[in-house]
Structure 1
Amino acid sequence: MASAAEQLAANASLSQFAKATDLKKRLWFTLGALVVFRLLSYVPLPGIDPRALASLFQQTQGGVMDFFNTFTGGALTRMSVVALGVMPYITASIVVQLATSLSPQLNAIKKEGESGRKKLNQYTRYGTVLLTAIQGYFIAVGLEAWGASAGQSAVIVDSWLFRVTTVITLVGGTMFLMWIGEQITTRGIGNGVSLIIMAGIVASLPTTIANALEQARTGATSPLWVIGGFLFFFGLILFICFMERAQRRVLIQYPKRQTARGMMQADKSHLPLKINTANVIPPIFASSLLALPLTITQFAGNRLSGESRWGDFIISLNQFIGQDTPAYFVLYAAGIIFFSFFYTAVVFNPEETADNLKRYGGFIPGIRPGKATENYLDYVLTRITVIGAAYLTAICVIPEMIVPRHLIGFGGTSLLIVVNVTIDTVTQIQSHLLAHQYGDLIKKAKLKGGMRR
């Protein structure tokens, strides 16, 4: 027999959506914030010649910049005020979380509750400013030298003025996007930062599909390759949806209690453990960590090319760890696996869960409460995290190796982010509809109670 919550969720319809005024406000706010992000992605940095910049990027297509440009919806190739997107913010949050798990002082701040969370968020903002300033400086220096030898520089103002304005503008753009993400999370629907990344990916999707079809039409690429690529990614979508819903249910039993008829009855429930507990965080974290050195080496190499051994070394390093190289795939896969285990440990604490079960009288059949339950949950979670990490690595790495990006222009990482964020957003919308439906039932029950009196 279906539960009351499941029946209410099944009954959610368009008529109920029309009555959910708060949900509609949240959706409109989210949509408006994403539109603002897309508009900002077309505002170029001061002192940039857009035509010369487009020509320079056209000459270097297919590099690692195309990969990170996908996450910003083309803002990086246009060198807009939000060219770096939210990647510095994500990198800073990774550093803070790692430091929290390693530093007793920061761990003590984390345990302070809401005040501790605010302090850590402030540290993350400081780190975001620092990382954006560093990347912004190297981007400015690289843009000055990029194409200068061929008389095709995209910078049309004084060098130091351009560097200062670029750093200030990029810091302001990234911090504004970070603020928009926080506002979406608080006043909108879904996770704001994830939605901003997804918006950038989806914005570039029509162009990449049109390019793939054009290549098939002109004969530059075999039509069978393009059709096979689309079918392959469609199958990946189905597989991702299946894996994101997969769970390992741990049976939880509670002591017998006396019912209204005087019978003794034991309650049973399940503790759902997702196969992919870390969700889409590992590939995003791994991508953002790779973005920092690759962005710096890409633009610093433009500036130092041919001037010294350091310039040649930086260019060689960028080519060694660039996209579609074995080193890149190894580093990317290692980052995904590491963050799968790391973030799972952050979001699920076996010790805390075992204590809560013991406090409320629940236990796992055959497992003693307390430490034994903690060890069992940790054992189960480790095993399913191995499967989750392997799944994420396969989705993000194998499509990049099998289907070249220039054929489809849409990698497994992008697909994973889009599907995951869509599932999470739809789940939140359903939760709001369910809460609204419960509210209507409570109002009706109170009204009937008043009429009887």
Structure 2
Amino acid sequence: MFKTLRDAWSIAEIRKKLLYTLLMLLIFRLGSAVVVPFLDTSTVSTWMASNATGGNFLEYLDIITGGALSQATVFSLSITPYINASIIMQLLTYALPPLERMRDEGEEGQKKLNKITAAVSLALSVFMSFAYYLTLKNQMNAVVDGGSKAANVFIAFVIILSFIAGTSIVVWMGNQINDKGIGNGISMLLFAGILARFPVMAGTLGELTKNEPQRYFFESLGILILFIAMIAFIVFMNASERRIPIQYAKRVVGRKQYGGQSTHIPVKVCMSGVMPIIFAMSFMSLPSTISLFKPVYDDPTGFWQKFYNGFINFFNTRTWTYALIYFILIIAFNYFYVSMQYNPIEIANNLRQSNGGIPGIRPGKPTSDYIQRVLSKITLVGAFFLGIIAIFPIALNWMDPNLSSLAMGGTTILIVVSVALETVRTLESEMMMRHHKGFLE
């Protein structure tokens, strides 16, 4: 990877793209420090430190935004509305025929889908900005009182508009990286936000080791080794694939023979990426998020109070029931996401139309059944891989509650490593486009 970066830096055109990407990331981090007016940031930080814990949805959002959410800055929502809009549009593309036809139109259809995604992202940013303002006002008491109704309306308008403008700027920067930089712009901003949280996690381990060196020295060393092993495991699984052999039939036209080539269909073990974890995490974090707005009763006396307390405690991140349901949901969402990406019947029909087939398998339904069996096995392996990555930090939190800040460690490492590998592949393809061998070589 470092050799790729060094070789890419030596090419002037790629160097300009790298510098432009770094400039956008620098502006993104600077914007994450610009505070929204009329807010008491110290109150927000204190409330988030006590409530955005244990792997709930608030902690997930805070890590995604690089800590901007807990500081109530302009980029507090970061790219989360755009990510949610992209997920919604991706699901609707497979559910609604008009969007599916638009997707199949090629580049023009993709431009239309991007415009619709941007509109959905704007609508979600308005909703999330208003919801975060209500949380700041009602739950945190962090909004400054204007002294009159008109002044409070103006303060609310400024705060909500600041969050919406921050999201729009972040999405614009992501699009600029796509056009003039290196890699996927949204992924790069997500990468920068998560990477900014790693020093906080390292600082937590360092502080614990400093205060109790007899206990945490070897524990911190073990955690470091485990995280390095996890990175190596993620890199290995990202590169792993199952190759389905394909043989094309020979045909003779005049005196020439065509076809007869052997190739394969690559099926990646981890083709769905981190999406199943995000879906499962969003689903599992709903009860804990609801409890923020309606606290658990301290002294339940009625049936509904007891039922509500039991329901919230059932989804507590420190219980084995949470880990089990979380693991099952990751497997289920992984199968769901893969089923949207791969259509065995369509693949079998395309092979038959191009005079290709799998050796030893008849064309048509037997081919689609074989591809479906292979996909089911590979998907199960990928789902267990994602489940282990997601469950490991939760198990770490069980062993020591002081390490709750590492509750999202596996997921964040998966995102960071995946984006880094994707960026390196993009750099390699950029260099291949600019490398031309001479006629005499």
TM-score interval for Structure 1 and Structure 2 normalised by the shorter chain: 0.7 to 0.9
| SS of equivalent to 1:271 | strand
Task: Give the match for residue 6 of structure 1.
Answer: none
The structure 2 residue matched to 1:340, chosen from 331, 334, 339, is 334
**Distance change in 2, residues 1:269/1:146 (3 Å):** same
Task: Give the match for residue 409 of structure 1.
Answer: 405
Q: Give the 5 Å matches for 1:179-198.
A: 179-198=172-191
1:155 aligns with 2:179: no
- Any gaps of 5 or more consecutive residues in structure 1? 1-8
Q: Give the 5 Å matches for 1:366-381.
A: 366-381=360-375
Task: Give the match for residue 43 of structure 1.
Answer: 34
**Distance change in 2, residues 1:361/1:409 (3 Å):** same
1:98 aligns with 2:94: no
Contact 1:324–1:400 under 8 Å retained in 2? yes
What is the identity, as a one-letter code, of the residue corresponding to 1:434?
M
**Distance change in 2, residues 1:337/1:235 (3 Å):** same
Q: Cα RMSD over matched residues?
A: 3.7
Paired residues, what number?
423
Contact 2:53–2:404 under 8 Å retained in 1? no
**How far apart are the structure 1 equivalents of 2:157 and 2:279?**
28
1:88 aligns with 2:77: no
Q: Give the 5 Å matches for 1:322-341.
A: 323-324=317-318, 329=323, 332-341=326-335
| SS of equivalent to 2:261 | strand
Q: Percent identity?
A: 32
Contact 1:88–1:132 under 8 Å retained in 2? yes
Q: TM-score when scaled to structure 1?
A: 0.80
Give the deviation of 1:29 after TM superposition.
2.0
Give the deviation of 1:179 after TM superposition.
2.5
| SS of equivalent to 1:382 | helix
Contact 1:229–1:408 under 8 Å retained in 2? no
**How far apart are the structure 1 equivalents of 2:110 and 2:246?**
31
More displaced 10-residue stretch of structure 1: 408-417 or 156-165:
156-165
Give the deviation of 1:297 after TM superposition.
3.7
**How far apart are the structure 2 equivalents of 1:35 and 1:315?**
45
**How far apart are the structure 1 equivalents of 2:6 and 2:392?**
43
**How far apart are the structure 1 equivalents of 2:180 and 2:287?**
35
What is the identity, as a one-letter code, of the residue corresponding to 1:409?
S
- Any gaps of 5 or more consecutive residues in structure 2? none
Listed one character per residue, the Cα deviations across residues 33-86 of structure 1 (whole Å, up to 9, x for unaligned) are 211211111111221122333343344463533343111111011011111222
Q: Give the 5 Å matches for 1:240-251.
A: 240-251=234-245
What is the identity, as a one-letter code, of the residue corresponding to 1:43?
V
Task: Give the match for residue 262 of structure 2.
Answer: 268
**How far apart are the structure 1 equivalents of 2:239 and 2:274?**
13
1:26 aligns with 2:13: no
Contact 1:190–1:424 under 8 Å retained in 2? yes
Contact 2:61–2:80 under 8 Å retained in 1? no
**How far apart are the structure 1 equivalents of 2:315 and 2:417?**
28
Contact 2:4–2:427 under 8 Å retained in 1? no
Task: Give the match for residue 219 of structure 2.
Answer: 225
Listed one character per residue, the Cα deviations across residues 248-300 of structure 1 (whole Å, up to 9, x for unaligned) are 11111223479xx9999943222211111112332244445667x57964764
**How far apart are the structure 1 equivalents of 2:183 and 2:5?**
20
Listed one character per residue, the Cα deviations across residues 307-350 of structure 1 (whole Å, up to 9, x for unaligned) are xx999999997776464455654564455334322332333333
Listed one character per residue, the Cα deviations across residues 91-115 of structure 1 (whole Å, up to 9, x for unaligned) are 2222222223223343333333334
What is the identity, as a one-letter code, of the residue corresponding to 2:53?
G
Q: TM-score when scaled to structure 2?
A: 0.82
Task: Give the match for residue 237 of structure 1.
Answer: 231
What is the identity, as a one-letter code, of the residue corresponding to 1:210?
G
Listed one character per residue, the Cα deviations across residues 340-371 of structure 1 (whole Å, up to 9, x for unaligned) are 22332333333443344334332210112344
**Distance change in 2, residues 1:264/1:187 (3 Å):** closer
Task: Give the match for residue 382 of structure 1.
Answer: 376
Give the deviation of 1:16 after TM superposition.
4.8
Give the deviation of 1:19 after TM superposition.
4.8
Contact 1:250–1:273 under 8 Å retained in 2? yes
**How far apart are the structure 1 equivalents of 2:332 and 2:116?**
23
